[in-house]
Structure 1
Amino acid sequence: MRTPWRISSFCFVSLALLGAGCEPAPSPVSSESGAVLEQKKDRAVGDVKLFCEIPQDGSYFELKQTATGYEGVVATQVYDPWDCRCIYLKREVVGQYTSCQFAPSDPRIVSCWRREPNGTIGKMGMFSTKVTRQSLVIGGPTQEVSDQLLDIGVVNQDPGQTSRRDFSYALDDCTAG
């Protein structure tokens, strides 16, 4: 009598474990439309002010306004060989700021800083700059190629932190909220 029960429970547990694997990572969504920014606003706690994404792999940088100021977050897709070979989205807070100033001509150009309790500017800041690269094509008719980038620099000189990190995104892949 007990043998069929044990066999059926073994089969049930085995099938459950086979189906308990990781779901495939969702395909990255292109940031060509404003709908992506709205989607990220719905998912994140706070109001997204700057969102830059690399469409090929879905990694992104976002600057969002929170109840206490602003927060910079970098998200990358990470491969985890120990967890059934899954790909997951790793979100890392790279800075928390008390103030940000956005350029009136282009709100994607921003500088943020943290003000310490004693009134001084802290050792943490974030800035973005618009860069235009121009290059000449060699080996054919004279042709000039140009592209625009948004370079983001994050400075965090707190103990135990990476002192500076730089990110570069195509200007078309960045939206301001």
Structure 2
Amino acid sequence: MRTSWRFSSFCVVSLALLGAGCEPAPSPAPTVSGAALEQRTDRAVGDVKLLCEIPQDGSYFELKQTATGYEGVVATQVYDPWDCRCIYLKREVVGQYSFCQFAASDPRIVSCWRREPNGTAGKMGMFSTKVTRQSLVIGGSGQEATQQLMDIGVVNQDPGQTPRRDFTYELSDCTAG
């Protein structure tokens, strides 16, 4: 009994040290322009209309057109709790919408909603807005720092869902397809 316990613990430790079953996390592909939207192979097939990505960790929000309407997806990198060397990309659908309206001045500004069978607007929506933050530099001689952001709000009041989630990205990290 003692030999089998030692042998099994040796196997477990050996496999943990070798990293068996753990593939290295894919490095995020640099996004250069709208053409880079089609080059991403780790995303689901669909026509991407809005993509906001955090370049430091590869997490992103995307709005894509599907056969039945539009779909909002949030992807984040998650660490494996059993092996801290393993990182995987967790994709979560945060909303499915019937209609989306894109601003003519900037297609990154979007309003989406789901239409219910009785014709009313549903309990699910998504909106994005451009925000400019200006702040005064302390100790400076009237210098201002300006930051351009994209705020994305997702409302999902279906049972079992988070009622509202907000995401903020640098405006330069968001592209429209």
Residue type of the alignment partner of 2:59: S
Partner secondary structure for residue 40 of structure 2? helix
- Aligned residue number for residue 114 of structure 2: 114
TM-score of the two chains, using structure 2 as the length reference: 0.85
* RMSD over equivalenced CA pairs, Å: 2.1
Q: How far apart are residue 141 of structure 1 and its match?
A: 2.2
Q: For structure 2, list consecutive stretches of 5 or more residues without a partner in the other structure.
A: 1-13
TM-score of the two chains, using structure 1 as the length reference: 0.85
Change over 3 Å in CA distance of 1:86–1:41 after alignment to 2: closer
Aligned residues: 164
Residue type of the alignment partner of 2:38: E
- Aligned residue number for residue 68 of structure 1: 68
Partner secondary structure for residue 131 of structure 1? strand
In 2, the alpha carbon distance for the partners of 1:176 and 1:109 equals: 9
Q: Structure 1 residue runs of 4+, over 6 Å off? A: none
Partner secondary structure for residue 172 of structure 1? helix
Give the conservation status (yes or no) of the 8 Å contact 1:32–1:173.
no
- Aligned residue number for residue 175 of structure 2: 175
- Aligned residue number for residue 86 of structure 2: 86
Change over 3 Å in CA distance of 1:83–1:159 after alignment to 2: same
Mean Cα deviation higher: 31-40 or 130-139: 31-40
Q: How far apart are residue 53 of structure 1 and its match?
A: 0.1
Describe how 1:1-177 pairs up with structure 2 within 5 A. Answer: 18=18, 20-40=20-40, 43-82=43-82, 85-177=85-177
Output one character per residue of 1:17-67: Cα deviation in whole Å (capped at 9) or x when no partner. 946331211222333433431223884221000000000000000000000
Change over 3 Å in CA distance of 1:145–1:63 after alignment to 2: same
